[in-house]
Amino acid sequence: MKFTLKIWRQQGPDDKGRFVTYQAHEVSPDMSFLEMLDSVNQGLIVKGEEPVAFEHDCREGICGSCSLVINGVPHGPERGIATCQLYMRRFSDGATITIEPWRARAFPIIKDLVVDRRALDRVMQAGGYISVNTGGAVDGNVVLIGKDQAETAMDAASCIGCGACVAACKNASAMLFVAAKVSHLASLPQGKPERTRRVTAMMEAMDREGFGACGNQYECEAVCPKSISVRFIATLNREYLRAGVVESGAPTVPEAPHAESD
Amino acid sequence: MTTLDSKVPSGPLETKWDRHRFSEKLVSPNNKRRIKIIVVGTGLAGASAASTLGQLGYEVECFCFQDSPRRAHSIAAQGGINAAKNYQDDGDSVARLFYDTIKGGDFRSREANVYRLAQVSTQIIDQCVALGVPFAREYGGQLANRSFGGVQVSRTFYCRGQTGQQLLLGAYSALCWQIERGQVTMRPRTEMLDLIVVDGHARGIVVRDLVSGHVTAHTAHAVVLATGGYSNVYYLSTNASGSNVTATYRAWKQGAAFANPSFTQIHPTAIPPSETHQAKLTLMSESLRNDGRLWVPKVPSGRRPPNDIPSSERDYFLERRYPQFGNLVPRDVASRAVKTLCDEGRGVGPGGHGVYLDFTDVIEQQGLDVVRERYGNLFDMYQRITGEDAYRVPMRIYPAPHYTMGGLWVDYNLMSTIPGLFVIGEANFADHGANRLGASSLMQGLADGYFILPYTIGHYLATTKITPIAEYHRESREALERVASRVTKLLGGQGRRTAASFHREVGRILWDHCGMARCEGGLKRTLQSIPALREEFWRDVAVPGSGETFNQELEYAGRVADFLEFAELICHDALHREESCGAHFREEHQTPDGEPKRDDTRFSHVAAWEYRENGPPILHKEPLTFEFVQPTARSYE
Amino acid sequence: MASGETAVSSCKNRGMMRLFNHFQTSLDSKVVVALTGLGLAGFVVFHMLGNLQVFEGAEALNSYAAFLRDMPILLWTTRLGLLSIVALHIGLAIQLTLHNRRARPVAYAVREYRKASLASRTMAVTGSVLLLFIVFHLLHLTAGVVDTSFPDRLDLQGHRDVYGKVVHAFRNPLFVALYLAGQFVLGLHLSHAVSSSLQTLGFEHAALNRLFKAAGPVIALLVVLGNMAIILAVFLGVVRT
Ligand SMILES: Cc1cc2nc3c(=O)[nH]c(=O)nc-3n(C[C@H](O)[C@H](O)[C@H](O)COP(=O)(O)OP(=O)(O)OC[C@H]3O[C@@H](n4cnc5c(N)ncnc54)[C@H](O)[C@@H]3O)c2cc1C
Ligand code: HEM
Ligand code: FES
């Protein structure tokens, strides 16, 4: 198979960037999309040119590293997979393929197709955890959790944090990402004690990082490699409204950071 | 001169850990704040350690090369995590998990470490539940279990086919909390390239910021390596493309002993390679062997579709050879059986690299829906990669390098031969002997990180007088220079061949001669061919771009350069071990019907290798004594 | 523990602020847009139902209008209420739109949407056109300054002749075209808006999700059909003086 690739090249954050056209020859239909890019890169390297930078690690759709917008769709034409799980047999021979990075203010470009997604980590740091110390946890069977409840939590928790939801959203909103985390923890008894603080803090962090607001357009769900449902966004909204009511009533005492030091 | 003191406490096995913990010195809370610890790696081991150390009050600086700690390779583990909870009341116990692990490792691991691992295993599950890990549950709300390769009890906890992901996200969330509290400083996209040793103690690391290219020294009171395994030395493996040996290898060069480097596990159930550009092998979870049956045609049947072959003409080779365990024999046994068949020319699929894994029977007995619920995502994955529907046509599988039991040598306290350098998770050699059982690596990573290291490191810190050192110290400067000159050297090749082509070549050599079966002749030849390849690498490698920017090819070439040196160490180890044990199969040491022959009189030891600047590495032996179990022939027949 | 105390009080205040004062996050704004939007949608539905009395003849419609006008307090609270709802809705919607635009400074060269509907992607555009339309509509039929060819007059009962005014207006193809275009835009806006507000307000239930999803398009369709019926009925001469 043969392909014409239009790939976004950008030296660094300050470079303007542009599309460069490459030819991919002798592509086997059994190649993955990333292997196809590998082979293009091998050709560039021996010519002394810099290879196209793109992110990858596990190459089996779970680490969330790979992040390409292929012909205008994050992770490309197939549903429910990450870029690394896309195979060339999905494309027709001779096609032209446009490859762009995730584009969002919160994801500045590092180089070519690689963006900085630390904003997602910072949203997690704002509250995406249950603050229990190591040690002394009660037996795992003390609190029973129904199968359905555990399944719902797992549905939400399967988010791989790739940021495709942000890339796909017209508003570059990270709502599905936040929703997945909030819903995962809110649907488990262990996550209940901190639910009020968590949802507010994470929503504030999302705004702070420069993500847009949700337009309920659901493009995120359609490109999510784990097909995480937008109903979790409703759950998030509900959690948030609930937090607003709770917070305006009785004060909840948040842990003062470093209280021990003063 | 390296000395190996395992520091295993004396006395009864069951109370060793408790007594040891009590005898350990503690660091007072006020002092903890002034102590800084570096943790390299954010997989299960690194993330759990960094978060727990932060929670204890230490100042922690944590590194990983991915853009986020959540992407560490642990994320890819599918099948599950073991724990001796005995929730199923099927006869499990700490003693049984201990015994299974020791036996699974073919009696090449330390009793005390393994027993502690089994003890701690139950706490891990509780801790993870508290962190919100959504383990599979029964309808009644209790935690669910499944059984996993190589054991007869059901003790594996799981989250669909994404157990590693969920456990890592749990540890990552704990890490997030500590980052938010200011206890942990997280440095993603930063690669450790050298270790700083001052007065014989590990006191820091040199890293390269992968975005800016800056090379800097970071010093601390102790260094923890949790940098995972090195299966990628084989080029094609089930590991993530970034997995590497660099951190541990660099530490080796600074004096940490490397133990059993040749103990590499080849996993039986990966999707067979299909073409030359393939960059990785994809694992199909071990759990598939619970319900799938392995077979090949009794006589090679060319392109005959598997469904046309009647069962009388099928050889269910594992069930035939190991009637008691059948398809559930440990990984090394299954892998070798598959390889032997394929070498005999009885394999199926392209190039004869594969055997069938057939679900027809279980689909008939329990229904399509049950199978779909259990393995749906794996079947989907298989279809995506191969284009075949495994509900209708049997899967094809082939072994793939997967896990490395070898690693930096550590004592009972998880400290390497360099004081102050601790090694946890897959990066150390400790608990799995010559072969690891399914679902026990996640257990080990979390045991080390949550429950063991945080205690043992305290003792080191409390009993060692530590003078402050600064980044401009001689040792730091030297380490910085080492790294800088290497970067320059990598960029200075003539540029005729890509790093990947060297990687593929060294991987091929190892796979052929130091893979599932090894022999003296092959290993010796390999020890000669690798240095030549390495020379060619330094002469001809092409690394475009500069060291002052984001340069993925430079990162990769550096890792390949280390693999090219490390491959030799593996072969030395494989050559010295003139026995077959666990994953290490020496062709000279087998029974007439092809079963491995272990040699307890000569090789009941850990082989710990010391680096020597000019010349082959020096072998040190830590004898393994078995006080509580009797090494038996590891038979699964 | 000074820091602890301020943390407590600021936490309490935050809730108060969120409810009464000032919108802490974009989601707060969204909730208000959704609530005001639903309010407006409710108004549009009643407005349409009220106007359908055109089909019962001049008397019915005019006395309905008079009935509304006869209660000045109610009328003005409704008007002021509506005005502030509209102001909130528009103000926050604009703020959100700008916030969202900022979130993607560089556009994709190639863009393909899988699921996001046209209506959902054009809320700001349809909203702005609606605003123009509403202003025009008020100037036209309420204030009567657009078309002075139909002077305000009383009908036989002494009510303002709204019926006559409507009939006069929709005889004119220009107005008909403008109002039909307005309906089209209103339909688009509503078709996404109503279901979207339900999601924003957290309505989600396995059994009812289809209902929530359908609510927007169905309500939009009803409003548009109802209004169009009036316009076309007059234009085609079904309703006449
Ligand atoms: C496909 C697959 C499936 C598996 N399934 C199971 C299973 O079901 N059950 C089970 O028990 N085990 C399983 N394993 C094994 C298990 O996942 C790993 O052994 C384990 O996760 C290793 O964890 P770790 O924390 O030691 O290292 P890793 O998770 O590999 O983490 C290594 C960390 O070190 C960092 N790092 C590495 N080098 C450097 C450097 N030079 N500088 C800076 N940072 C560095 C990385 O960024 C990363 O954060 C599986 C393995 C694979 C490959
Ligand atoms: C009859 C008049 C109107 C009705 C019935 C109405 C109704 C609604 C509703 C129900 C929503 C949904 C909120 C949500 O997504 O949760 C909405 C959103 C919106 N409206 Fe209106 N609206 C009207 C007029 C306007 C006007 C005049 C504007 C002018 C600028 C406007 C701009 C918007 C925008 C931009 C949004 C999307 C906000 C977002 O992205 O969340 N609307 N509208
Ligand atoms: S590379 Fe890990 S998800 Fe694609």
Q: Which residues, in sequence order, are CB contacts of B339 under 8 Å at separation 6+?
A: B266, B399, B516, B517
Domains along the sequence of chain C with CATH: 33-235 (1.20.1300.10)
**CA atoms of C203 and B67, how far apart (whole Å):** 36
DSSP conformation class of B617: P
Q: Do chains C and A touch (3 or more CB pairs under 8 A)?
A: yes
pLDDT in tens, B468-497: 777 778 999 999 999 999 999 999 988 899
Q: CA dihedral in degrees (B510, B514, B520, B523; nearest 10)?
A: 20
First to last CA, chain B: 44
**Residues 83-142 (C) with a CB less than 8 A from some CB of A:** 96, 99-100, 102-117, 120-121, 123
Tokens 């602020």 belong to residue: C17
First to last CA, chain C: 78
* Length of chain B measured in residues: 637
* Length of chain C measured in residues: 241
Q: Do residues B388 and B350 touch, judged by C-beta distance below 8 A?
A: no
DSSP conformation class of B124: H
3-state helix, strand, coil in chain B (%, to 5): 40, 15, 40
Q: Do residues B378 and B285 touch, judged by C-beta distance below 8 A?
A: yes
Q: Is the whole-model pTM more than 0.90?
A: yes
Same-domain status, A138 and A257: yes
Helix or strand (DSSP H, E) at B156: strand B156-157
pLDDT on residue B469: 76
As given in the structure block, the two tokens for residue B260 are: 């059993």
The reply to whether A1 touches chain B by the CB within 8 Å rule is no
> What range does the domain containing A37 cover?
3-111
**pLDDT beneath 70, residues of chain A:** 248-262
Q: Do residues B306 and B347 touch, judged by C-beta distance below 8 A?
A: no
| Among candidates A32, A45, A141 on the partner chain, residue whose Cβ is nearest the Cβ of B544 | A45
Residue whose C-alpha is closest to residue A124's, from A174, A64, A171, A170: A174
CATH number for A54: 3.10.20.30
Same-domain status, A36 and A161: no
Helices (H), C103-172: 118-121, 123-137, 162-169
Distance from CA of B35 to the nearest CA of A (A): 15
Same-domain status, A244 and A153: yes
pLDDT on residue B290: 86
Ligand 2 mean position, distance from CA C190 (Å): 8
Residue C184: exposed, middle, or buried by beta-carbon count in 10 A (0-12, 13-18, 19+)? middle
Q: Which residue has the higher pLDDT, B427 or C144?
A: B427
Size of interface A-C (CB pairs under 8 A): 162
Tokens 């299909």 belong to residue: B274
Q: What is the rounded average pLDDT for all residues in chain C?
A: 89
Amino acid identity of residue C188, one-letter, is L
Contacts of A153 in chain B (CB under 8 A): 132, 134
pLDDT above 90: percentage of residues in chain C: 73
Same-domain status, A228 and A140: yes
pLDDT tier for residue C6 given thresholds of 50, 70 and 90? very low
pLDDT on residue B79: 84
**CA atoms of B165 and B77, how far apart (whole Å):** 7
Which ligand places an atom closest to the C-alpha of B72? 1
pLDDT tier for residue C4 given thresholds of 50, 70 and 90? very low
Rounded to an integer, the average pLDDT of C145-157 is: 82
What is the fold, at CATH topology level, of the domain defined by B268-401?
Flavocytochrome C3; Chain A, domain 1 (3.90.700)
As given in the structure block, the two tokens for residue C10 are: 């600021």
Q: Do residues C18 and A248 touch, judged by C-beta distance below 8 A?
A: yes
Radius of gyration of chain B (CA): 24
Distance from CA of B388 to the nearest CA of A (A): 12
Contact A62 B495 (CB under 8 A): no
Sign of the C-alpha dihedral computed for residues B285, A59, B263 and B16 taken in this order: negative
User: Looking at ligand 2, which residue's alpha carbon is closest to its atom 43?
Assistant: C37
As given in the structure block, the two tokens for residue B347 are: 């394999």
Amino acid identity of residue A233, one-letter, is I
Q: Residue B17: pLDDT above 80? A: yes
Domain boundaries, given as residue ranges, for chain B: 268-401, 474-623
- Which three-class secondary structure string do you get for B424-439? CHHHECCCCCCCCCCC
Q: How many domains does chain A have?
A: 2
DSSP conformation class of B244: -
Q: A124-133, B105-114, B326-335: lowest mean pLDDT where?
A: B326-335
Ligand 2 mean position, distance from CA C188 (Å): 11
Q: Best mutation site among C51, C89, C132, C196 for ligand 2, i.e. most ligand atoms within 8 A of its Cβ?
A: C89
pLDDT on residue C146: 87
- Collapsing DSSP to helix, strand or coil, B314 comes out as strand
pLDDT in tens, B582-593: 999 999 999 988
Residue whose C-alpha is closest to residue B317's, from B594, B513, B516: B594
**CA atoms of B134 and A151, how far apart (whole Å):** 8
Rounded to an integer, the average pLDDT of C222-241 is: 94
* Length of chain A measured in residues: 262
pLDDT in tens, B261-299: 999 999 999 999 887 788 899 998 888 888 999 999 998
Contact A129 B176 (CB under 8 A): yes
As given in the structure block, the two tokens for residue C31 are: 């909730």
pLDDT in tens, C67-122: 888 888 888 898 999 999 999 999 999 999 999 999 999 999 999 999 999 999 99
pLDDT on residue C23: 64
pLDDT on residue B1: 64
pLDDT on residue C28: 94
Q: Which residue of A has its CA nearest to C10?
A: A251
Last residue of a domain, one of A83, A111, A139: A111
As given in the structure block, the two tokens for residue B631 are: 């090494």
Residue whose C-alpha is closest to residue B279's, from A60, A144, C234: A60
Helices (H), A1-146: 33-46, 118-127
Same-domain status, A107 and A123: no
**Residues 214-243 (A) with a CB less than 8 A from some CB of B:** none
pLDDT tier for residue B569 given thresholds of 50, 70 and 90? very high
pLDDT on residue C3: 37
pLDDT in tens, B47-77: 999 999 999 999 999 999 999 999 999 999 9
Size of interface A-B (CB pairs under 8 A): 228
DSSP conformation class of A258: T
Same-domain status, A105 and A124: no
b/e for B195-209, b at 16 or more Cβ within 10 A? bbbbeebbbbbbbbe
Ranges assigned E (strand) in chain A: 3-9, 18-24, 69-70, 73-74, 96-100, 109-111, 114-115
**CA atoms of B247 and B257, how far apart (whole Å):** 13
pLDDT on residue A260: 40
CB atoms within 10 A of CB B54: 24
Helix C2-16 × helix A231-248 angle, to 10°: 110
Looking at the DSSP bridge assignments, the partners of residue B201 are: B198
Ligand 2 mean position, distance from CA C127 (Å): 6
pLDDT above 70: percentage of residues in chain B: 100
Same-domain status, A126 and A256: yes
- Ligand 2 is surrounded, with C-beta below 6 A, by A 215-216; C 30, 33-34, 37-38, 40-41, 44, 89-90, 93, 96-97, 123-124, 127-128, 130-131, 189-190, 193-194, 196-197, 200
Q: What is the rounded average pLDDT for all residues in chain B?
A: 94
CB atoms within 10 A of CB C7: 18
Same-domain status, A11 and A30: yes
Ligand 2 mean position, distance from CA C178 (Å): 20
DSSP conformation class of A52: P
Rounded to an integer, the average pLDDT of C173-187 is: 97
ipTM: 0.95
User: Looking at ligand 2, which residue's alpha carbon is closest to its atom 9?
Assistant: C37
Q: Do chains B and C touch (3 or more CB pairs under 8 A)?
A: no
User: Looking at ligand 3, which residue's alpha carbon is closest to its atom 3?
Assistant: A61
Contact A213 C99 (CB under 8 A): yes
As given in the structure block, the two tokens for residue A188 are: 């488990």
CB atoms within 10 A of CB B576: 15
Tokens 């691992």 belong to residue: B117
Q: What long-range pairs does C68-75 form, CB within 8 A, spacing at least 24?
A: C69/C160
Contact C15 A173 (CB under 8 A): no
Helix C173-200 × helix A231-248 angle, to 10°: 70
Please give the C-alpha separations between residue A250 and each of A196, B115, B192, B495, C4, in angstroms, as whole numbers: 12, 49, 48, 68, 16
pLDDT on residue C21: 43
Which ligand places an atom closest to the C-alpha of B443? 1
Q: Do residues B247 and B229 touch, judged by C-beta distance below 8 A?
A: no
CATH number for A149: 1.10.1060.10
Last residue of a domain, one of A57, A79, A111: A111
The reply to whether B385 touches chain A by the CB within 8 Å rule is yes
DSSP conformation class of B144: P
pLDDT in tens, B508-557: 999 999 999 999 999 999 999 999 999 999 999 999 999 999 999 999 99
pLDDT on residue C14: 55
Q: Please give the class, per CATH, of domain B474-623.
A: mainly alpha
Same-domain status, A105 and A132: no
Q: Do residues B279 and A41 touch, judged by C-beta distance below 8 A?
A: no
Q: Which residue of A has its CA nearest to B161?
A: A158
pLDDT on residue C31: 96
**CA atoms of A215 and A170, how far apart (whole Å):** 8
**CA atoms of B357 and B398, how far apart (whole Å):** 10
Q: Do residues B296 and B395 touch, judged by C-beta distance below 8 A?
A: no
- Ligand 3 is surrounded, with C-beta below 6 A, by A 56-59, 61-66, 82-84
pLDDT on residue C89: 97
Ligand 2 mean position, distance from CA C113 (Å): 22
Q: Which residue of A has its CA nearest to B283?
A: A60
Last residue of a domain, one of A76, A93, A111: A111
CB atoms within 10 A of CB B305: 9
Ranges assigned E (strand) in chain C: none
As given in the structure block, the two tokens for residue C118 are: 């046209």
Ligand 3 mean position, distance from CA A62 (Å): 6
Q: Best mutation site among A59, A81, A158 for ligand 3, i.e. most ligand atoms within 8 A of its Cβ?
A: A59
